[in-house]
Amino acid sequence: MPRASREQSEQTARTVRATARRLFADLGFAAVGLEQVAAEAGVTRGAVYHHFGSKQALFTAVLADVQAAVAAQVGRAAPGDGWEAIEAGCRAFLRASLAPEVRRVMLLDGPAVLGWAEWRRLDAEHSGRLLEQGLAGLTDLAVDPAAAAALLSGAMNEAALWVAEGGDREAAESGLQRLVGSLRRRPSDADGPPPATAR
């Protein structure tokens, strides 16, 4: 494929993803049709199928874009390492997840449309990877890093949904801070984290 045609094709795919992201965020997955995406993106329905194959595949691409954007915000908020970085990253994830498009695409429709296994795989490639890497670098973590990541990830996702439904964000952030702190080994604890369980 000539370079100009390849660049045009990549631009078309980006336009379709951006349009679909807005529509999925505004209307929800079930209410969006590929014909509508194509019309608002200014391309043919065939072009959408050519790039993505199906509505679910297009949603998967949009979800990956959303998760990558959230991970980028977390990375900017917590560029270092240590417990302060974990706390800052958790706060950044919660705040980023409260954006309407992120909440609907990533937390509401994502698991329902793709199933938990695929949703967790995508999460693990983005924010989940940053969280587990940060936890693995702590020398005074009281539990297995993978278990700690699962606990914090679940808490952050539920906190974001709770705040979006009217819960107090400051209370949620304070609770997350306490949860993070509870994972830190105290001098009275036995040396070293417990061994990781077999998976």
User: What pLDDT, in 10s, does the model give residues 115-173?
Assistant: 988 888 888 888 888 898 899 999 999 999 989 999 999 899 899 989 988 899 999 99
Query: Do residues 135 and 148 touch, judged by C-beta distance below 8 A?
Result: yes
Residues in the chain, total: 199
**pLDDT tens digits, one per residue of 9-56:** 889 999 999 999 999 999 999 999 999 999 999 999 999 999 999 999
Query: Domain locations in the chain?
Result: 1-53, 62-193
Q: Which of 183, 98, 88, 86 lies closest to 131, judged by CA?
A: 86
User: Quick check: 154 and 105 in contact, CB under 8 A?
Assistant: no
Whether the predicted pLDDT of 189 surpasses 70: no
Question: Which CATH superfamily is 62-193 part of?
Answer: Tetracycline Repressor, domain 2 (1.10.357.10)
Q: What CATH number belongs to 1-53? A: 1.10.10.60
Is the pLDDT at 199 greater than 50, yes or no? no
